[in-house]
Structure 1
Amino acid sequence: MYFLVPRKCAIFCVNCEAIPQQVNFLVDKSVNCSKGSTAVISYFHFFFEKYELGEQVLSLHCDNCSGQNKHNFVMWYLIWRVMKGLHTEINVHFMPAGHTKFAPDWAFGLLKKFPAIRGVLPTASMICARSCERAQQEDGSTLVNTYDWQTFLKPAFKRLPGMLKFAHFRMSHQHPDYMPLILPTPGLSRERQTYLFRQIREFVREDKRDVMCPTPPPPPN
């Protein structure tokens, strides 16, 4: 099993001090449409819809990853939330150089102490009272939609020049209600499904085999 490649699952975390709780998104490769700003915005959007406390002023602290957090599309999404009236003000703070660790890193360290056990992804009860959101149900249906935020936002906003030089951003006010298209999930290739079925299935708990390593579809005629 050490030399094999089991089912892959990406993890995205949002730590909310107001709850207080860290929400960990477990994203199976079959529903992982993007690893960049589109995915980050979609997980943020789900988090705000499910865990919001009626707050009007929002403060976010992020690391300086330019491919995911410190990105024009993320800033445009936050501006859109204010224009839509979901918040009256949003403040975004990026960590200064030399300070690379903050609350999500601490909680993520706790999460990594509870790896997948006998073919089952971690559940909320395994993660020190932290909440766990699966992007996909066991029947294959999608729980956390990935929206096409880039196509949706790009025509309406201008790029922010030199944004990587700045550490603090503030947005303020309102706009009509509209949403982008939902991106279809890619699913697993037949080759990947065959690999999981032949190489990994025997190591998975019997009652979870059809979830983690289902029988692959027959080859095309």
Structure 2
Amino acid sequence: MIDEADFPEKNANVVISILDHFFAHHGLGEKYACLTADKGQNKNNAVLHYLIYRILAGLHDNIELSFMIVGHTKFAPDGYFGLIRKRYQQSNIYTYEDLVPTILNSSENGHNTCQPTRDYGTSRNSQSLIYRDWSSWLLKFFRKLPDVTKYRHFKITKNKPGIVFLKKTIDGNETEVQLLKKEVPFGKDKAFGLPSQIFPKGLSLERQWYLYEQIRMHIPNERDKDATCPKPNQPKPKK
């Protein structure tokens, strides 16, 4: 769960940073990962480069990435998000602190969990999410795959460093492409640096004033008002 103020923008760097955060804090030490995505924005060279990086760095041995067919992109996670939405609509939520138990209580058997990236004073442990400029950094070592959006299945293995196996359909012919430009500085037994960090800019002044003037009035508790819609410390921008 990411605070609106902590979310930079929706792009490849954010997608990769969230994926990297998940593997670092919620992975099980697995060496084989099978990933499924339902949206085209995840199908880009930067995400592909990141998965190759994980193999070369010794973080995984094999990774498969598959994209669902257009028009058939509803799968199990959507159903659980639906349970969260249903519980959300039946709850009074004024703060992120209120949202945590709403998510946790949205499924009968505890399938839905909440991993906040801030400490909201709840029982859930928080782990700060670090955003990095993965796209630019990875381009130093990997070349782009032409027509990446034409493929639906990708496979990367430690036995073929830098090579991606491609399929347009699950039963289609498999081809392979070498995307490694040069020797990389990272590896299983190598100490290496990570991409430069990206720092979120926080809520814009316009957004802060909108929350203060349009949303604050609907929150009954003063403590919750100040947590979600505090008065901005700068004058309202003139239109």
State the TM bucket, normalised to the shorter chain.
0.7 to 0.9
Which protein is bigger by CA-based radius of gyration? 2
Ranked by relative contact order (alpha carbons within 8 Å, sequence separation 6 or more), the top structure is 1
Aligned residues: 192
Residue equivalent to 1:133: 115
Give CA-to-partner distance per residue, 1:105-156, whole Å, 9 cap, x none. 12121121122633134214233221212344459x9821221111221221
**Does the 8 Å contact 1:134/1:144 carry over to 2?**
no
Cα displacement (A) at 1:183: 0.5
Residue equivalent to 1:90: 63
The structure with the largest strand share of the pair is 1
Q: What code does the residue aligned with 1:112 have?
A: R
1:172 paired with 2:145, answer no
Residue equivalent to 1:209: 225
TM-score, with length taken from structure 1 = 0.77
**Does the 8 Å contact 2:8/2:202 carry over to 1?**
no
Cα displacement (A) at 1:80: 0.7
Residue equivalent to 1:155: 140
Residue equivalent to 1:19: none
**Does the 8 Å contact 1:27/1:134 carry over to 2?**
yes
Q: What code does the residue aligned with 1:151 have?
A: S
- Structure 1 gap ranges (5+): 1-25
The alignment-based identity, stated in percent, is 34
Q: Structure 1: which 4+ aligned runs deviate by more than 6 Å?
A: none
- Structure 2 gap ranges (5+): 159-185
**Does the 8 Å contact 2:95/2:227 carry over to 1?**
no
Give CA-to-partner distance per residue, 1:60-86, whole Å, 9 cap, x none. 1111x332x111111111111111111
Change (3 A) 1:99 1:194: closer
TM-score, with length taken from structure 2 = 0.72
Question: SS at 1:171's partner residue?
Answer: strand
Select 2:208's aligned residue among 193, 196, 219.
193
1:76 paired with 2:49, answer yes
RMSD over aligned Cα, in angstroms? 2.4
Distance in structure 2 (CA, Å) of the matches to 1:97 and 1:106: 18
Q: What code does the residue aligned with 1:72 have?
A: N
Q: What code does the residue aligned with 1:199 have?
A: Q
